[in-house]
């Protein structure tokens, strides 16, 4: 009996410690999501009429998951201390939902990174082809932000980048820039998902231990 109670306490405090770390992880995910959403360079490149918003979809998933992680981590700590089967079961379900959201964000980032880059490359090419004030302004933003000029198969316009000394074309620069951002989303999503598997295991072990101890009593 004392061994059972001792083991249950051990799992309880391990789950409490995990939930505190989980809450901090949620704060980190939220911070990274906000950085990706409001990063000045990213915002500049995705402004203007017709700018693709696919990239921000993955960011919004990450933001939602981060906020939910913080709430769930708080209630998970409360459920562990109170030894409440109901709260622990709810905690498990919430973790499962967040797990799905994180995996979705990670897989979405990996599978769609080429599509997202292509949409943004097209947006840049269209702005050059428009040859109007708005299109020129958009092109200048890309040239200044990415330190590039022209597309892979486009002739460089000296009027749009007279001081451009780099050989990098903007299509390649766009691909490299958003590859880096999407890899951050993917790795964070998959990494946090792995942490949550541990949390689900702890919550179920503690829930079963609580049930068994009450049955013994």
Number of H helices, E strands in the chain: 6, 0
First to last CA, the chain: 9
Q: What is the pLDDT of residues 38-62, one digit of tens each?
A: 888 888 888 767 777 777 877 887 7
Environment class of residue 111 by beta-carbon count within 10 Å: exposed (0-12), middle (13-18) or buried (19+)? exposed
The Cα–Cα gap between 146 and 142 comes to: 6
Q: What is the pLDDT of residue 170?
A: 85
Q: What is the pLDDT of residue 7?
A: 61
Q: What is the pLDDT of residues 142-180, one digit of tens each?
A: 888 888 877 665 556 666 675 655 567 888 888 888 888
Q: What is the pLDDT of residues 67-94, one digit of tens each?
A: 888 888 777 777 777 767 777 777 788 8
Environment class of residue 3 by beta-carbon count within 10 Å: exposed (0-12), middle (13-18) or buried (19+)? exposed
Q: What is the pLDDT of residue 158?
A: 62
Decide if pLDDT at 5 tops 70: no
Q: What is the pLDDT of residue 1?
A: 47
Q: Quick one: average pLDDT of 131-136?
A: 73
The Cα–Cα gap between 164 and 150 comes to: 10
Decide if pLDDT at 108 tops 50: yes
């Amino acid at each position: 009996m004392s061994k059972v109670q001792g083991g249950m306490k051990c799992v309880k405090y391990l789950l409490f410690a995990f939930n505190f770390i989980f809450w901090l992880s949620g704060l980190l995910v939220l911070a990274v999501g906000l950085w990706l959403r409001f990063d000045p360079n990213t915002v500049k490149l995705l402004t203007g009429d017709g700018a693709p918003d696919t990239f921000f979809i993955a960011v919004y998933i990450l933001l939602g998951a981060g906020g939910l992680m913080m709430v769930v981590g708080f209630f998970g700590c409360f459920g562990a201390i109170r030894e409440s089967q109901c709260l622990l079961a709810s905690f498990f379900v919430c973790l499962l939902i967040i797990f799905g959201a994180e995996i979705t964000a990670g897989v979405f980032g990996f599978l769609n990174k080429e599509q997202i880059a292509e949409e943004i490359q097209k947006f840049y090419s269209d702005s050059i082809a428009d040859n109007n004030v708005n299109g020129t302004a958009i092109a200048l933003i890309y040239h200044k932000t990415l330190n590039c000029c022209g597309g892979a198969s486009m002739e460089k316009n000296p009027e749009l980048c007279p001081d451009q000394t780099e050989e990098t074309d903007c299509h390649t620069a766009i691909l490299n820039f958003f590859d880096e951002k999407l890899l951050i989303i993917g790795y964070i999503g998959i990494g946090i998902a792995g942490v949550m598997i541990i949390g689900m295991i702890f919550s179920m072990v503690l829930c079963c231990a609580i049930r068994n101890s009450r049955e013994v009593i």
